[in-house]
Structure 1
Amino acid sequence: MRGRGFIFGVGTSSYQIEGAVNEDGRLPSVWDTFCATPGKVARGETGAMACDHYHRWEADLDLLAALGVDAYRFSIAWPRVMDEKGRPNARGIDFYKRLTDGLAERGIRAFVTLYHWDLPQWMEDRGGWLNRETAWRFADYADLMSRELAGRVTSWATHNEPWCAAYLGYGNGHHAPGHNVARWGTQAMHHLLLGHGLALPALRANDPHAQMGLVANLGPGYPGRDVHEDVDAARLYETYQNRWVLDPLLKGEYPADLFRLWKGTEPVVLPGDMETVAAPMDFLGINYYSRAVVSSTGADSFEWVRDPAVERTTMDWEVYPQGLQDLLEALRRDYPNLPPIYITENGMSSDDHVQDGVVDDLQRQSYLKRHFAACTRAMARGVDVRGYFIWSLMDNFEWAWGYERRFGIVHVDYETQRRTPKRSALAYAAFLRDRSL
């Protein structure tokens, strides 16, 4: 991972850090609405202020420069740049122009995600991702932003984690917009993937020197017991978690056994849709946090097996670096047309506090070292990984968990907005300084 061509970075997303939800023409998003709904977000917290990045972006870019990262992955807030009639909002667009220009001035590459879940509320009022029209409006949005930022962006990702947007947003209601209908989850996924495919031609036409791809959250499944039923359950888990997204993108079809899990939830797919979805990508972004150990609970169903003795994060996710290597090698084996990979998110939440001006996040430092090593092993075995982004640059609004889960390598005091680099950030900066030695 020390080669000159390998990219090291950090990531954030718009709703989690920007704040300024009512400024400069930004319209409401589904997350503004969700946060305002009692009982949806812990302690009733919202992203209205978040990390106030909209006003503090220059200082935050200086933080990036001090770390020495090659690239910064961030997302654009769709409600900030386009109104309900499809007209551009120049004040919102100018923010992202200032941001990308500021990155360029500091020698940092821009890795832009178009959709990190903050759907305009006016789109949700028309059906959101259940409405096929949203896929076309997403392509319009991609066209607008790739014209406005052409030449400023190294990499465009259409969606971040469509699994979360579809399943958590429409299938089980844990995320905005908060629907809880299994078939709505599969239909929303189809329209998200269709929007991805429809956006690619505009991105390529407007910014031909940039890379185009999509970011998926993936995790390997392991059988709880060495029996056929649990091996099948692990396979079924990977269908639900991984192949639901990857098979349409890389094979042009949904995995048949997906509908063993959710019988009768097949989405409406029109002629030509799957060819659009499966358009070639320049890269695949992978967000990896943990694995799943599962056991069969009968035909076509499974449950998670929890070992209380294993190391976990404050998200209650198992720390399992070997899972990243296993995942990467399985993808290389299962998808002959797999594009180059970026690890677009990897990190952990912990209960971090500033003591005497220091945040000594020992577990995170160990977590990152072990996951770097797992990625290195996969690369040594032939997996084409081009870059690695830590999640996240700084503590932020962690969706339905509000502000209690801290993923950042920079601590944020939400009362004062003071940023304090944690020991993990200092270690990352030292590693990046030393890689040329």
Structure 2
Amino acid sequence: MTTWPEGFLWGTGASSTQSEGAAPASDWYDWERAGHAPISGDGNGFATRYAEDFAILAELGLPHHRISIEWARVEPEQGRHDAAAVAHYRAVLQAALDAGIEPWVCLHHFSLPRWFAELGGFLVAANRTEHWACHVDWVAETFGDLVRGWQPVNETNYYPFAAYLGRGWPPGHDSYDECATVSQQLQLATAEAAVRLKQTGAPVSSIFGLTGFEALDDDPRTLSLASFLTDLHWEAGLGLYRDGVLRVPGRDPIERPDLAGSFDLIGFSFYTTMGIAEGAMVAYPADAPRSPLGYGIDADGLGRVLDRLHATVPGAPILVAEYGLGTDDDAQRAAYLERGLEVVQEALAKGIDVRGLFHWTATDNYEWLHGYDVSFGLMDRDRNVRPSAEVLRRAARS
């Protein structure tokens, strides 16, 4: 029987917009109403069924769960906190603890309060140093007694790419200059939040979206794009953690030695590897089956990310903060989970310090521009547990 290190963190992750629906005071709510994304409604019903979900996760032996506390719900207007929303999130966190679930909290999972977005969001440095910093401190003070871990910003490197480089997320801009600015500001915001949240005594993990980029030919355009994407998605945030220097392509380095080592865990999400051929991104491997989101299904890519991450930040404790597969084929999901766990075991055998794995996600939810068409959950929205969940149950109990 395969065994796992003592204290290995088995968990799941979710977000407020995806599981509770877009907050009426958020930029994503406006984006939906403008016709740019499907309507999220009440998500998967987590806002009223959270205790039921926690009981199922506890029975599955997955005792860690990440939620996001939606900024637009708790501060729908600048400077005004909603007492009912605060009470709701405190009830959610307490219910998790009562069920034996250790709650982790994310403060920014892609959506923002309308008022913050109208002030320029993370395009404006003062929004980071004033409004964001105040929000981080307020969340720590208001919920810190119930939180057992923090993952402050989801996929720090991906949000600027999706929102400011033509990927169709609000505000829907397509400007590398803006993408670079937001990349700088959000990397700083994430690391600064980590330093502040550490003061609560709970561990703090990053969530970088780490996709491998494989150059498939020697075309100069291919090599240039592979280098650019690696620098933007890998070196910026990891370099800030490792060296205390933030390097975003096309911008002067920012020296912040106070932010070196800002995280207790280097956490990341993994979904696919991207090939680059003739200067363009392509699915990889070429013969891999495709997920409904269009990327290649290749669990071995998780191992390549772990190897590269270990080389990039040697000795850093690592958390697989998101690993999962969106598919209606649950046997395919089970096989993907089985192979992913084997890959993590192989990494542990090589001395890579992997501390845990959070599955994305617990319950089928709203998948942003894809609405409810992609199933990532260990259970469906009616809370029927899928057979693939047994893969994680067996591993967690070993």
- TM-score normalized with structure 1 length: 0.84
What are the Cα deviations for residues 384-424 of structure 1, in whole angstroms up to 9, with x where unaligned?
11100110101111011111111111112xxxxx2211111
What are the Cα deviations for residues 288-310 of structure 1, in whole angstroms up to 9, with x where unaligned?
1111111243xxxx443666532
- Helix, strand or coil: the match of 2:146? coil
Structure 1's 306 and 387: CA in aligned 2 closer, same or farther, altered over 3 A?
closer
Structure 1's 238 and 197: CA in aligned 2 closer, same or farther, altered over 3 A?
closer
Match of 2:270 among 271, 280, 288: 288
Deviates more, 1:151-160 or 1:234-243: 234-243
- Helix, strand or coil: the match of 1:211? coil
1:339 partner letter: A
- Conserved? CA contact 2:156–2:190, under 8 Å: no
Aligned to 1:135: 128
What are the Cα deviations for residues 50-105 of structure 1, in whole angstroms up to 9, with x where unaligned?
11211221212222122221211111101111243323322212222111111111
Q: Is 1:62 equivalent to 2:26 in the alignment?
A: no
Report the Cα offset of residue 188 of structure 1: 0.9
- Conserved? CA contact 2:266–2:318, under 8 Å: yes
Report the Cα offset of residue 134 of structure 1: 2.1
Report the Cα offset of residue 240 of structure 1: 3.2
- Helix, strand or coil: the match of 2:388? helix
Q: Is 1:32 equivalent to 2:29 in the alignment?
A: yes
Q: Distance in 2 between matches of 1:431 and 1:289?
A: 20
Report the Cα offset of residue 374 of structure 1: 0.8
- Conserved? CA contact 1:169–1:175, under 8 Å: yes
Aligned to 2:20: 18
Aligned to 2:387: 423
Q: Distance in 2 between matches of 1:51 and 1:409?
A: 13
- Conserved? CA contact 1:50–1:397, under 8 Å: yes
Report the Cα offset of residue 330 of structure 1: 1.5
Report the Cα offset of residue 155 of structure 1: 1.2
- Helix, strand or coil: the match of 1:408? coil
2:290 partner letter: R
Q: Distance in 2 between matches of 1:382 and 1:201?
A: 27
- Conserved? CA contact 1:139–1:196, under 8 Å: no
- Helix, strand or coil: the match of 1:421? coil
Aligned to 2:316: 339
1:159 partner letter: V
- Helix, strand or coil: the match of 1:345? strand
Q: Distance in 2 between matches of 1:50 and 1:170?
A: 25
Q: Distance in 2 between matches of 1:20 and 1:124?
A: 15
Match of 1:194 among 188, 199, 205: 188
Computed over aligned residues only, the root mean square deviation of the Cα atoms, in angstroms, reads 2.3
Structure 1's 223 and 76: CA in aligned 2 closer, same or farther, altered over 3 A?
same
Q: Structure 2 matches for 1:9-408, cutoff 5 A?
A: 9-19=11-21, 21-22=23-24, 28-38=25-35, 40-41=36-37, 45-136=38-129, 137-205=131-199, 207=200, 209-225=201-217, 234-255=226-247, 258-259=249-250, 266=251, 274-275=256-257, 277-278=259-260, 280-297=262-279, 302-304=280-282, 309-336=287-314, 339-351=316-328, 361-408=330-377
- Conserved? CA contact 1:196–1:277, under 8 Å: no
Q: Distance in 2 between matches of 1:254 and 1:62?
A: 42
What are the Cα deviations for residues 357-378 of structure 1, in whole angstroms up to 9, with x where unaligned?
xxxx100000011111111111
- TM-score normalized with structure 2 length: 0.92
2:204 partner letter: M
Structure 1's 101 and 371: CA in aligned 2 closer, same or farther, altered over 3 A?
same
Segments of 4+ in structure 1 off by > 6 A? 226-229
1:419 partner letter: R
1:311 partner letter: P
- Helix, strand or coil: the match of 1:2? coil
- Conserved? CA contact 1:135–1:198, under 8 Å: no
Identical positions, percent: 26
| Structure of greater Rg | 1
Between Structure 1 and Structure 2, how many residues are aligned? 395
1:202 partner letter: R
Q: Is 1:411 equivalent to 2:393 in the alignment?
A: no
Deviates more, 1:54-63 or 1:116-125: 54-63
- Conserved? CA contact 1:221–1:292, under 8 Å: yes
What are the Cα deviations for residues 154-195 of structure 1, in whole angstroms up to 9, with x where unaligned?
211221112221111122242122222111111111111222
